[in-house]
Each structure stands twice: as structure tokens, then as C-alpha cells.
């Protein structure tokens, strides 16, 4: 092999190495973007868990047992979502956040809780749809499917909160009187709100 031929071969190998490095860096960059939105979503779920469990205790103290039970079950759904997101983050080589996206609102009255939660879920659905697009743009179909699953469940949560808020707004004390004194027990099973749909009636709509 002549010196010129060796030089061409070396340049070809160098270009191949460069392309490999660029492709690897690009892939790592895409993965980083996906991990970032997964962690943002996990932080939102951690905030929702704190919010809903605080409301569960408050509603139980106010003797609105059925509402307290359903809010607790929705909180259990959010716990599952947070775990699903953490597992995907770990699969991608990231570190799941342990920081909630914000502090829970405390001391809310029953008339304020469900409109507040409906807006929280609506905002979450909008954010997760944007996060889904980031995953799709960066070629992560597994994370796309994960967000699709969670969005569908958040929609069920929104429907419940929005329906109850509507009932409270239209019927006021008449509606709340029907809920007062109902049991708040959810049993020992760890099924959340979504898993129980279709297996039991939902007072106040869902």
C-alpha cells in the first residue's frame, strides 16, 4: 500500500470514528431530553400525591367519607404513576427526582377542593401531552406509550373532579348533605381509583 493509499484509509477511519462519536453524542442528548421531561412529570406526581392525601385527611375530618375515599384512591394512582416514571428514568440511566414540583395547598374547604383538583389535572394533562411530544421527537416510543397511559388515567381523574365540582356548584348543600356521613374506608387492597372503575358505583360521577 502506497503512502497516499494509507493516508486515504486513515482519513476514512477517522471520519468513521467522528461519525460514531457524533451519533453517540446525539443519542445521549436525546436521552437526556427524555429523562428531563420524565423527571418533570415525576415531580408533578409527587406534588399531586401530597395534595390528594392532604385533602383525603381533611375530607375525612369533615365527614365527607365517600369523597375522602375517592381522593385517596386517586392519590394511590399518582403513587403508581410516580413509580412508573421512576422505573423508566432508571432504564434510561437517569436518577429519579425525589423533589415535588411544588407544595400542597392545605386547609382547603370542600367547596374549593374539587374545582382546584380539576384544574390541577387539566394542567397536568396539557403538560404531559407536551412531554409526550418531546419523547416522540427524540425517538423514544416506550416513553411515548408511558405518557399515553398516564394521560388516559389523568383524564379519568379530571372527569371525577370536574363532575363533583359541577354538582357542588349547582346543588350546594343539598349535594353535600348526601355525602356527609358516608364511609371513607377503602379496604386493604392497594388498587387505585382507575382500577376500581367498572367494579363499583361512583357517587358524584366519574
Q: What was the pLDDT predicted at 203?
A: 39
Determine the Cα–Cα distance for residues 71 and 58; give it in Å rounded to an integer: 11
Determine the Cα–Cα distance for residues 171 and 148; give it in Å rounded to an integer: 35
Q: What was the pLDDT predicted at 191?
A: 72
Looking at the DSSP assignment, which residues form a beta bridge with residue 197? 200
Q: How many residues does the chain have?
A: 206
The answer to whether residue 3 sits within a structural domain is: no
Q: What was the pLDDT predicted at 91?
A: 97
Domain holding 172, by residue range, is 30-196
The answer to whether residue 11 sits within a structural domain is: no
The answer to whether residue 77 sits within a structural domain is: yes
Q: Residue 8: pLDDT band by 50, 70, 90 thresholds?
A: low
- Residue 206, pLDDT > 50, answer no
Q: What was the pLDDT predicted at 7?
A: 65
Q: What was the pLDDT predicted at 186?
A: 72
Q: What was the pLDDT predicted at 196?
A: 77
pLDDT in tens, 39-84: 999 999 999 999 999 999 999 999 999 999 999 999 999 999 999 9
Task: Identify the CATH number of the domain in which residue 170 sits.
Answer: 1.20.1260.10
Q: What was the pLDDT predicted at 18?
A: 61
The answer to whether residue 201 sits within a structural domain is: no
- Residue 132, pLDDT > 80, answer yes
pLDDT in tens, 163-180: 999 999 999 999 999 999
Axis crossing angle, helix 65-91 with helix 141-171, rounded to the nearest 10: 170
- Look at residues 15, 174, 44 and name the one whose alpha carbon lies nearest to residue 204: 174
Tell me the average pLDDT across 22-36: 82
The answer to whether residue 146 sits within a structural domain is: yes
The answer to whether residue 16 sits within a structural domain is: no
The answer to whether residue 202 sits within a structural domain is: no
pTM greater than the 0.85 cutoff: no
Distances (CA, A) of 19 to 54, 67, 139: 53, 58, 19
Number of domains within the chain: 1
The answer to whether residue 6 sits within a structural domain is: no
Amino acid at each position: 500500500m502506497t503512502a497516499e493509499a494509507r493516508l486515504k484509509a486513515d482519513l476514512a477511519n477517522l471520519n468513521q470514528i467522528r461519525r460514531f462519536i457524533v451519533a453517540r453524542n446525539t443519542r445521549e442528548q436525546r436521552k437526556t431530553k427524555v429523562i428531563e421531561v420524565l423527571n418533570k412529570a415525576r415531580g408533578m406526581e409527587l406534588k399531586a400525591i401530597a395534595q390528594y392525601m392532604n385533602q383525603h385527611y381533611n375530607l375525612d375530618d369533615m365527614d365527607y367519607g365517600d369523597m375522602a375515599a375517592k381522593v385517596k384512591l386517586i392519590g394511590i394512582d399518582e403513587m403508581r404513576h410516580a413509580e412508573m416514571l421512576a422505573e423508566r428514568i432508571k432504564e434510561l440511566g437517569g436518577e429519579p427526582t425525589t423533589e415535588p414540583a411544588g407544595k400542597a395547598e392545605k386547609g382547603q374547604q370542600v367547596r374549593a377542593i374539587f374545582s382546584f383538583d380539576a384544574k390541577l389535572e387539566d394542567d397536568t394533562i396539557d403538560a404531559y401531552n407536551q412531554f409526550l411530544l418531546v419523547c416522540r421527537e427524540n425517538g423514544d416510543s416506550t416513553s411515548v406509550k408511558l405518557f399515553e397511559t398516564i394521560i388516559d388515567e389523568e383524564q379519568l381523574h379530571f372527569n371525577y373532579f370536574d363532575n363533583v365540582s359541577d354538582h357542588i356548584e349547582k346543588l350546594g348543600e343539598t349535594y353535600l348533605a348526601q355525602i356527609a356521613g358516608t364511609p371513607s374506608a377503602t379496604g386493604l387492597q392497594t388498587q387505585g381509583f382507575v382500577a376500581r372503575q367498572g367494579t363499583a358505583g361512583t357517587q358524584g360521577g366519574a
